[in-house]
């Protein structure tokens, strides 16, 4: 079902059991008429009507999540979030189709090329391609939280922008749960840029 056929801003269109190496989840597929992309939620336990639900919003990263790239910390963060939530009574991972902080897969690889050839950092590369450092929005994510019936969340994040955006779209964020994983010699400079230029709340620099 495409987003253009979605009745309402965000709607659940399917759900199924999803056993994983981290634990048993329910995968919930959504359609939406906002960005018309197919986003999903991995849900542990019962979250409808619940307060303080642990929530991780993860943006799709093909190079990291699938190919195990060490240029970023994406896969490590996703795996850590799934492990963390699997040990709790309930929680949610939203898997958002926002590759490359919203610029898409091809442009992300173009940004990598600029970093390789010219020594740009991730922010400089995005700007050179004509994009802001981060063009993601979280309006769809906020609606997914509401459709799941969650009353408030404990947001698993290091990114203050995610907190502000969810609050803007009417999601009650009770507290932040720090989430630092996956620093390597290959992505250390990248993480430093996230802290210094993008205000991520990271302890290591």
33-43: average pLDDT? 94
pLDDT at site 62 = 96
Residue 198 burial (CB count, 10 A): 17
How far is residue 59's CA from residue 75's CA, in Å, rounded to a whole number?
10
pLDDT at site 84 = 95
How far is residue 195's CA from residue 205's CA, in Å, rounded to a whole number?
8
From the candidates 65, 73, 134, 165, give the one annotated as an active-site residue: 134
**pTM, full prediction:** 0.91
Mean pLDDT of the chain: 91
192 is catalytic: no
183 is catalytic: no
Q: Which helix (H) or strand (E) holds 25?
A: strand 24-32
1-24: average pLDDT? 85
Residue 83 burial (10 A CB sphere; 0-12, 13-18, 19+): middle
From the candidates 56, 101, 136, 165, give the one annotated as an active-site residue: 136
How far is residue 126's CA from residue 109's CA, in Å, rounded to a whole number?
11
Could you give all domains of the chain from N- to C-terminal order, each with its CATH number?
50-98+136-198 (3.40.50.10990)
121-148: average pLDDT? 93
Residue 193 has pLDDT above 80, yes or no: no
């Amino acid at each position: 079902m495409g987003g253009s056929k979605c009745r309402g801003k965000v709607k659940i269109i399917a759900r199924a059991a999803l056993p994983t190496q981290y634990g048993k989840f329910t995968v919930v597929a959504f359609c939406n008429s906002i960005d018309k992309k197919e986003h999903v939620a991995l849900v542990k336990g019962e979250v409808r009507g619940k307060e303080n639900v642990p929530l991780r919003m993860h943006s799709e990263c093909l190079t990291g999540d699938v190919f195990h790239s060490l240029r970023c910390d994406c896969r490590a963060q996703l795996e850590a979030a799934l492990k963390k939530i699997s040990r709790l009574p309930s929680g949610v991972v939203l898997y958002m189709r926002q590759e490359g902080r919203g610029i898409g897969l091809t442009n992300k690889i173009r940004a990598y090329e600029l970093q390789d050839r010219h020594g740009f950092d991730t922010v400089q590369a995005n700007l050179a391609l004509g994009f802001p450092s981060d063009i993601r929005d979280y309006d769809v994510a906020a609606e997914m939280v509401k459709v799941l019936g969650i009353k408030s969340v404990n947001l698993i994040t290091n990114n203050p922008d995610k907190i502000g955006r969810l609050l803007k779209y009417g999601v009650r964020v009770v507290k932040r749960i720090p989430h630092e994983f996956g620093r390597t010699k290959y992505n250390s400079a990248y993480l430093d840029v996230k802290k210094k230029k993008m205000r991520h709340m990271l302890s290591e620099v």
